Chains A and B, each alone.
Chain A
């Protein structure tokens, strides 16, 4: 069972993850892959408290790359969260055999263009998306389970045309 969802979401653990995906997927574990959060006991405690129905593990990219295959074979389901495409690409480059990332939230920041209501990309993001696609990793835009997943390259042609 194990991996149920790999998600790119700059809010990491929040309502859509805990309520919508959590109720649908019922993960036993939520892996938050974020070097900054993993370095902070305070932030780790907050992320754990935010999702009381699952075991929350806050880890670095390197630690997740090492643990990914074992988690794939573990009993119970798991959800993986990264905050951006840079972390998603770093995780894959470090050896995690992720086949698809759900793109759940990359919100506006200066220099980013709107793709839809919850996805904004800049040139560096598009280059990372291309690198992931080139490695055979699907990128599916979908905020909550009830909405229709769409390939990122269909919503943003700039992802495939450098």
Chain B
């Protein structure tokens, strides 16, 4: 499931970030600051969209994915999630992930070549859960 180092000519799992306000674009910029220039990831804001137009905008971007891909969204229950699920309906290899943070996006970038969408999504789920930690300040 984990492809390890990208292999030449391997299929790359495409991704679309769909988030509130400017979060998707900002998250991608933050990832680029750590990872370097990023190709092949699209971003979409839900701002100004009705349910129907947001779903259409997602379909416009994932409809050409021939081997599936990931719709990465900010939180469960938001329009980015539910419209992503509606857009993924009938497209079995399009997987929606909620609660996406910077460690998850970086893990996607490092593992998207030669992977398959569902397995990569499970990997990102574990990465996201592992990335949220609490560390208290130490007494002086």
Contact = CB atoms under 8 A, between A and B. Distances in A.
Tell me whether A and B are bound partners: yes
Interface size class of A (residues with CB under 8 A): 20 to 34
Given A46-B82, A107-B48, A15 B75 contact: yes
Contacts of B48: 107-108, 117-118
A50 B49 contact: no
A18 B78 contact: yes
Contact of A42 (B52, B79, B89): B89
- Give the residue among B48, B52, B82 with the most A Cβ atoms within 10 A: B82
A52 B51 contact: no
B76 A50 contact: yes
Contact of B20 (A15, A117, A118): A15
Given A14-B77, A109-B53, 16 more contacts: A10-B50, A11-B50, A11-B79, A15-B80, A18-B78, A19-B75, A42-B89, A47-B82, A50-B81, A50-B82, A51-B77, A52-B77, A83-B51, A108-B53, A117-B48, A118-B48
A15 B53 CA distance: 16
A46 B78 contact: no
Contacts of A118: 48
Interface string B1-36: 000000000000000000010000000000000000
A117 B121 CA distance: 34
Contacts, number: 52
A105 B89 CA distance: 25
Given A15-B20, A50-B82, A10 B51 contact: yes
Interface string A82-115: 0100000000000000000000011111000000
Interface in A1-35: 10-15, 18-19
27 contacts: A10-B50, A11-B50, A11-B51, A14-B51, A14-B77, A14-B78, A14-B79, A15-B77, A15-B80, A18-B77, A19-B77, A19-B78, A46-B82, A46-B85, A46-B86, A49-B77, A50-B76, A50-B77, A50-B81, A51-B77, A106-B50, A107-B48, A107-B49, A107-B53, A108-B53, A117-B48, A118-B48
Interface in B65-84: 75-82
A46 B89 CA distance: 11
B50 A15 contact: no
